[in-house]
């Protein structure tokens, strides 16, 4: 798949996401297409589980400090006859809350268990809320009765906002725990004001549900925006790559151009110097090309250059670099190629071009198009630069043209 097609597909994906984002702005509880919806909840669950893993130990310390401060305050603020009974219930609620957090922490750390996260966490929250609500609504002192309702509502808010469950799952857990709590209170004959029960169960769950929906709506927008930012980044990266390729590529032959070659050759030469491996450089010129253009026209001249470029591309192999250096001049850089093999490759290129029988009526060496090639090789031991190697190949090409063209000349050291 080429870069332009990739960019087009990414832009289409971006437009689809932008349409969904606009719909989300218009409707708070707008549902995404199935695949995107699943991805959103997976992403949200992953973020919250990572947060739980990071925050568990600091939260445990904070929880312990909270207990150490609140227990004495609760103990001395209630009537003496209720202290033993109510403090034991408060301790039970605190312990249950921490065990629920610990269970979710264990689930979050194990990747294999995460696929059961929703079911297990819904169950854990339902059970823990049932226990907390049952014990805190069973306290006997008036002071702790109101504090207990406040703790229950805070626990409900925390569960709705931080559990990672979908609102409907959390609502199910909250209402089921309310029913189980009512059954328990009825079983143990504990009377609680209907006003308190409605505040705790109905108001707590409704407020929690509303906050959860509002939070998730905001998270949906941020999720879509993050996808758009990611798509933009990918588009810009591909366009940057495309621009770089175009700036280093000859538009006619699709070979690397001189600018690209200078950068690539510098890196290549540094590599072979470090590895002390040979590097062959073939400097190639199309014989009497100006006369070819004058006789056959520039359009046919372009076709001839393309055929030469295609020939060089075939001989460049996987590690070679074929370059249109300018006009009718080409370069071919071959790694791990000693002089003998480099000259043999150059001869093969000459033969290939001859056998293509590209007519050249104005050539003084052949009735067909021919090439002159100068060959220079860096063996890995000479103390020369890449420019020295290029000059050696250029000088060898000059000698090939001087001695009659349509031939290969090797640089002599």
Query: What's the alpha-carbon Rg for the chain, to the nearest Å?
Result: 39
238 found inside a domain: no
Q: What is the CATH number of the domain that holds 364?
A: 3.30.70.270
Q: Are residues 220 and 347 in the same domain?
A: no
279 found inside a domain: yes
Query: Measured between alpha carbons, how far is 286 from 189 in angstroms, rounded to an integer?
Result: 105
Torsion of CA 34, 39, 44, 46, to 10 degrees: 140
Is the CB of residue 375 less than 8 Å from the CB of residue 396?
Answer: yes
Query: Measured between alpha carbons, how far is 221 from 33 in angstroms, rounded to an integer?
Result: 14
Torsion sign, CA atoms 325, 330, 336, 339: negative
Q: Which of 60, 87, 89, 56 is nearest to 73 (CA)?
A: 87
Q: Which residue has the tokens 């007519």?
A: 359
Is the CB of residue 258 less than 8 Å from the CB of residue 326?
Answer: yes
Tell me what pLDDT residue 1 has: 53
Q: Are residues 153 and 298 in the same domain?
A: no
213 found inside a domain: yes
CA 321 remoteness from chain centre: 31
Tell me what pLDDT residue 301 has: 94
Torsion of CA 154, 156, 158, 162, to 10 degrees: -170
Q: Are residues 227 and 324 in the same domain?
A: no
Q: Are residues 353 and 273 in the same domain?
A: yes
Tell me what pLDDT residue 379 has: 87
Which tokens in the block code for residue 413? 């050291």
- C-alpha distance from residue 352 to each of 145, 232, 346 (Å): 97, 47, 10
Strands (E), 127-247: none
* Structure confidence by residue, pLDDT tens digits, 152-181: 998 999 899 888 888 999 999 999 999 999
Q: Are residues 75 and 213 in the same domain?
A: yes
Paired with 9 in beta bridges are none
Q: For residue 147, how many C-alpha atoms fall within 13 Å in the half-sphere facing its CB? A: 18
- C-alpha distance from residue 356 to each of 204, 254, 308, 345 (Å): 86, 20, 10, 17
Which tokens in the block code for residue 49? 């589980």
Q: Which of 368, 367, 365 is nearest to 400 (CA)?
A: 365
Query: Measured between alpha carbons, how far is 109 from 105 in angstroms, rounded to an integer?
Result: 6
In the set 4, 143, 328, 329, the catalytic residue is: 328
Mean pLDDT, 10 residues at a time, over the chain (413 residues)? 80 89 77 87 86 88 87 82 87 90 85 82 93 91 84 90 88 94 90 83 90 89 92 89 79 90 89 90 96 94 95 90 93 94 96 95 94 93 87 95 95 73
305 found inside a domain: yes
Taking each helix axis from N to C terminus, what angle separates 204-247 and 142-162, rounded to the nearest 10 degrees? 30
Query: Measured between alpha carbons, how far is 348 from 357 in angstroms, rounded to an integer?
Result: 15
Respond yes or no: is residue 328 known to be catalytic: yes
Q: How many domains does the chain have?
A: 2
Query: Measured between alpha carbons, how far is 363 from 354 in angstroms, rounded to an integer?
Result: 13
246 found inside a domain: no
Tell me what pLDDT residue 358 has: 95
DSSP state of 367: S
107 found inside a domain: yes
Query: Measured between alpha carbons, how far is 221 from 166 in angstroms, rounded to an integer?
Result: 16
Tell me what pLDDT residue 48 has: 85
Which residues form the domain of 116? 3-233
CA angle 193, 198, 202 (to 5 degrees): 160
The structure's pTM equals: 0.64
Distance, first Cα to last Cα, the chain: 46
């Amino acid at each position: 798949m080429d870069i332009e097609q990739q960019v087009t597909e990414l832009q289409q994906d971006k437009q689809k996401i932008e349409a969904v984002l606009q719909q989300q702005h218009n409707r708070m509880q707008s549902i995404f297409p199935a695949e995107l919806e699943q991805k959103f909840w997976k992403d949200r669950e992953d973020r919250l589980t990572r947060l739980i893993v990071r925050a568990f130990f600091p939260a445990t310390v904070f929880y312990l400090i909270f207990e150490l401060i609140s227990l004495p305050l609760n103990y001395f603020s209630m009537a003496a006859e209720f202290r033993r009974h109510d403090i034991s219930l408060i301790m039970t609620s605190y312990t249950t809350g921490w065990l629920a957090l610990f269970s979710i922490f264990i689930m979050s750390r194990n990747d294999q268990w995460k696929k059961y996260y929703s079911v297990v966490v819904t169950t854990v929250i339902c059970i823990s809320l049932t226990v907390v609500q049952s014990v805190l609504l069973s306290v006997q002192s008036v002071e702790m009765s109101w504090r207990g309702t406040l703790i229950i509502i805070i626990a409900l808010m925390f569960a709705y906002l931080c559990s990672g469950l979908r609102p409907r799952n959390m609502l199910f857990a909250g209402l089921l725990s309310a029913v189980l709590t009512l059954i328990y209170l009825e079983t143990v004959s504990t009377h609680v004001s209907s006003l308190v029960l409605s505040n705790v169960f109905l108001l707590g769950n409704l407020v929690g549900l509303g906050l959860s929906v509002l939070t998730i709506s905001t998270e949906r927008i941020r999720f879509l925006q993050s996808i758009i930012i990611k798509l933009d980044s990918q588009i810009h990266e591909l366009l940057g790559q495309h621009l770089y390729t175009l700036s280093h590529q000859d538009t006619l032959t699709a070979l690397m151009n001189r600018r690209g070659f200078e950068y690539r050759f510098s890196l290549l030469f540094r590599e072979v110097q470090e590895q002390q491996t040979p590097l062959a450089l073939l400097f190639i010129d199309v014989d009497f090309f100006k006369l070819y253009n004058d006789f056959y026209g520039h359009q046919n001249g372009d076709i001839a250059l393309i055929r030469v470029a295609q020939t060089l591309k075939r001989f460049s192999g996987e590690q070679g670099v074929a370059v249109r250096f300018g006009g009718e001049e080409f370069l071919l850089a071959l790694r791990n190629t000693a002089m003998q093999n480099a000259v043999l490759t150059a001869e093969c290129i000459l033969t290939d071009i001859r056998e293509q029988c590209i007519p050249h009526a104005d050539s003084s060496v052949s009735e067909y198009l021919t090439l002159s090639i100068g060959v220079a090789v860096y063996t890995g031991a000479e103390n020369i630069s890449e420019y020295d190697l290029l000059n050696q190949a250029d000088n060898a090409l000059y000698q090939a043209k001087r001695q009659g063209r349509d031939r290969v000349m090797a640089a002599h050291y």
